[in-house]
């Protein structure tokens, strides 16, 4: 086991177990067990107490290219010995790539998936390996998934194209989904605010213009008509940064931080984090705390920087620890915790 590092006078950072190859998403089965996806095509079950890793069997064929592969995962919490899991991955058809979501029943004592079912297939296939989005959250019997614009920005305004949108899947009728909101570029953060049950998201802008939004049904978030970002080579995109016809972001980063996973902190280990939003940064290899007041971001601070690499996902453990994934070939799972509560 790797010894923890001291972040400051009271916070420790510890790597859990061995390397993970491009880890991307994670969710808890229980307080001592977590599932982690590797973009290259594996789900790893990790015992947080003894740091034993087990590969989950029974996955479909995973296509890994560019920004695509096996991406996010979420677990439906219930009292059953088996758990339903939902995961997002990329498939290839006739040289083009698309996004799909599967449901499976995880048999815990055998570390395998049975009753695998395809519950969503995007209607947008292209040769691009960019902007899949693909964060997942559960809200009762509804599954929400963020879908990127696949590098073809105008599709985000096309109500008949599900790229550039956040979709809603009724788990009681998995063959049916709706576009819940549209006008998104590449939303790679999605979470439920536990204090009011709202859906919050963040997305990558182009050059500048990363943003945080509260996601509302049937609303349009403006991309590429409205954005605070600009072309990578310089120059304006769309009509500007504001229009009353579109939803305005709650928070914008200029320059971009390349935001990754996000989670509200609702536990007690870090008292000064409670009620605020944790967001990773790929670009600056940092963990941000975005302070929330009256349901709006008001400022931010960097908890730490350049200690573990590109942070891809953030989750809050049941004991109040913060878990992080690093998006590296030799990436890993890390735990941030207070010294006196380790």
CATH of the domain at 305: 2.120.10.30
Number of other CB atoms surrounding residue 229 within 10 Å: 25
Residues 291-334 pLDDT 10s: 999 999 999 999 999 999 999 999 999 999 999 999 999 999 99
Percentage above 70 pLDDT, the chain: 98
- Render pLDDT for 217-263 as a digit per residue (tens, 0 to 9): 999 999 999 999 999 998 999 999 999 999 999 999 999 999 999 99
CB 264 within 8 A of CB 194: yes
Evaluate if residue 341 carries a pLDDT over 70: no
Q: Is the pLDDT score of 135 beyond 60?
A: yes
pLDDT, mean of residues 181-209: 97
Mean pLDDT of the chain: 95
CA dihedral over 313, 316, 318, 323, signed as positive or negative: positive
What is the chain's length?
Answer: 342
Separation between Cα atoms, residue 9 and residue 313, nearest integer Å:
25
| pLDDT value at 176 more than 50 | yes
Residue 22 has pLDDT above 70, yes or no: yes
State which residues form the domain around 123.
5-341
Q: In 77-196, at which residue ranges do the beta strands (DSSP E only) sit?
A: 83-93, 96-107, 112-121, 133-139, 142-147, 165-170, 177-182, 189-192
Please tell me the predicted confidence (pLDDT) of residue 10. Answer: 86
Total domain count, the chain: 1
Q: What is the pLDDT of residue 137?
A: 98
pLDDT classification of 174: cutoffs 50, 70, 90: low
What is the secondary structure of 250-295 as a DSSP string?
A: SEEESS---EEEEEE--SSSSGGGTTSEEEEETTTTEEEEEEEETT
Residue 249: the pLDDT is: 98
Using the predicted structure, report yes or no on whether residue 342 has a pLDDT greater than 70.
no
Model confidence band, residue 9 (pLDDT cutoffs 50, 70, 90)? confident
- Reply yes or no on whether the pLDDT at 63 is more than 70: yes
CA dihedral 183, 184, 185, 190 (to 10 degrees): 180
Portion of the chain with pLDDT greater than 90, in percent? 91
Contact assessment for residue 335 and residue 318, using Cβ atoms and an 8 Å cutoff = no
Write the burial class of residue 88 (CB in 10 Å: 0-12 exposed, 13-18 middle, 19+ buried): buried
The confidence band for 175, taking pLDDT boundaries of 50, 70 and 90, is: low
């Amino acid at each position: 086991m790797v010894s923890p590092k001291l972040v400051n006078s009271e916070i420790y950072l510890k790597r859990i177990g061995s390397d993970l190859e491009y880890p991307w998403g994670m969710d808890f089965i229980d307080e001592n067990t977590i599932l982690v996806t590797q973009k290259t095509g594996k789900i790893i079950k990790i015992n947080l107490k003894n740091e034993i890793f087990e590969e989950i069997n029974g996955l479909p064929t995973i296509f890994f290219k560019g920004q695509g592969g096996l991406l996010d995962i979420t677990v439906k919490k219930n009292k059953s010995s088996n758990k339903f899991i939902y995961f997002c991955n990329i498939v290839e058809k006739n040289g083009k790539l698309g996004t799909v979501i599967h449901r499976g029943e995880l048999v815990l004592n055998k570390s395998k998936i049975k009753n695998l079912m395809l519950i969503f297939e995007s209607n947008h296939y292209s040769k691009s390996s960019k902007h899949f989005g693909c964060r997942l959250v559960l809200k009762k019997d509804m599954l929400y998934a963020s879908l990127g614009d696949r590098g073809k920005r105008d599709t985000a305004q096309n109500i008949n194209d599900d790229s550039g949108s956040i979709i809603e899947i009724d788990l009681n009728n998995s063959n049916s989904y709706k576009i819940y909101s549209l006008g998104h570029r590449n939303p790679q953060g999605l979470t439920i605010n536990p204090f009011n049950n709202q859906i919050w998201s963040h997305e990558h802008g182009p050059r500048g213009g990363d943003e945080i939004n509260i996601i509302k049904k049937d609303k349009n978030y403006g991309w590429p008509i409205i954005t605070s970002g600009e072309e990578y080579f310089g120059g304006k995109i769309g009509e500007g940064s504001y229009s009353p016809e579109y939803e305005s972001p709650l928070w914008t980063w200029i320059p971009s931080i390349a935001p990754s996973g996000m989670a509200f902190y609702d536990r007690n280990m870090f008292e000064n984090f409670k009620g605020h939003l944790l967001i990773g940064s790929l670009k600056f290899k940092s963990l941000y705390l975005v302070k929330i007041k009256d349901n709006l971001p008001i400022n931010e601070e960097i908890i730490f920087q350049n200690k573990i690499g590109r942070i891809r996902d953030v989750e809050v453990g049941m004991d109040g620890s913060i878990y992080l994934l690093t998006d590296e070939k030799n990436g890993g799972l890390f735990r941030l915790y207070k010294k006196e509560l380790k």
